[in-house]
């Protein structure tokens, strides 16, 4: 009983303090870094809408694996299993969670109208701990990066250094 309470306290404290959590849904190919807030015993997320974080593999009633990193060193602190609960827009629980999420959302394109957009176009999820924690791994957890349309930088144009340093004079 004592170890269960300690695990629950560690899950809550570590998740509260971490700005990002790594979440892997049941059908997701890899874990994703997601911003969240801790509210009433669960990690709460908003996403799957225009301009918001994707939530692949997270379905209502589904399972998820959450890994929490250290805020200062970035290393893995604890991994825990969760049950995903999707909150209905406009419900009392949705309103309470959105009030917390709204304060943490950085650079929202629509400011105060963000909550109305979330109600129309996004999903708000609670990741409720099931009590199961995963022991630390023996090896590396490195994974192949997710596919992206981003490209590697090309060599800079030959004339660019002259344009950048044109106004500077040598002091001798």
Mean pLDDT for 64-84 is 89
| pLDDT per position as a tens digit, 113-159 | 899 999 999 999 999 999 888 887 788 777 787 788 887 777 888 88
Going from N- to C-terminal start, the domains of the chain cover 2-164
- Predicted confidence (pLDDT) at residue 81 exceeds the cutoff of 70: yes
| pLDDT per position as a tens digit, 11-69 | 999 999 988 999 999 888 888 999 999 999 999 999 998 889 999 899 999 999 999 98
Tally Cβ neighbours within 10 Å of residue 76. Answer: 16
Pairing of strands 32-35, 63-69: unpaired
Would you give the distance in Å from CA 119 to the centre of its chain? 19
Q: What is the CATH number of domain 2-164?
A: 2.30.110.10
- Predicted TM-score of the model (pTM): 0.78
Q: Which residue has the tokens 């969670």?
A: 97
Concatenated DSSP letters for 79-112? Answer: EEEEEEEEEPTTSHHHHHHHHHHHHH--S-TTGG
pLDDT at residue 167, rounded to an integer: 65
pLDDT at residue 138, rounded to an integer: 80
């Amino acid at each position: 009983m004592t170890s269960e309470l300690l695990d629950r306290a560690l899950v809550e404290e570590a998740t509260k303090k971490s700005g990002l959590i790594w979440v892997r849904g049941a059908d997701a190919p890899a874990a994703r870094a997601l911003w969240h807030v801790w509210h009433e015993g669960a990690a709460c997320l908003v996403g799957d809408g225009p301009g918001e974080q994707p939530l692949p593999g997270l379905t209502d009633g589904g399972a998820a694996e959450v890994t929490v990193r250290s805020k200062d060193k970035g290393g893995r602190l604890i991994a825990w299993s969760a049950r995903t609960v999707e909150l209905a827009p406009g419900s009392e629980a949705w309103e309470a969670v959105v009030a917390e999420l709204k304060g943490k959302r950085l650079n929202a394109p629509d400011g105060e109208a963000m909550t109305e957009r979330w109600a129309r176009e996004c999903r708000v999820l609670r990741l409720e701990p099931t009590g199961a924690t995963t022991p630390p791994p023996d090896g590396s957890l490195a994974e192949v990066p997710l596919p992206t349309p981003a490209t590697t930088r090309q060599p800079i144009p030959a004339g660019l250094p002259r344009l950048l340093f044109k106004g500077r004079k040598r002091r001798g």
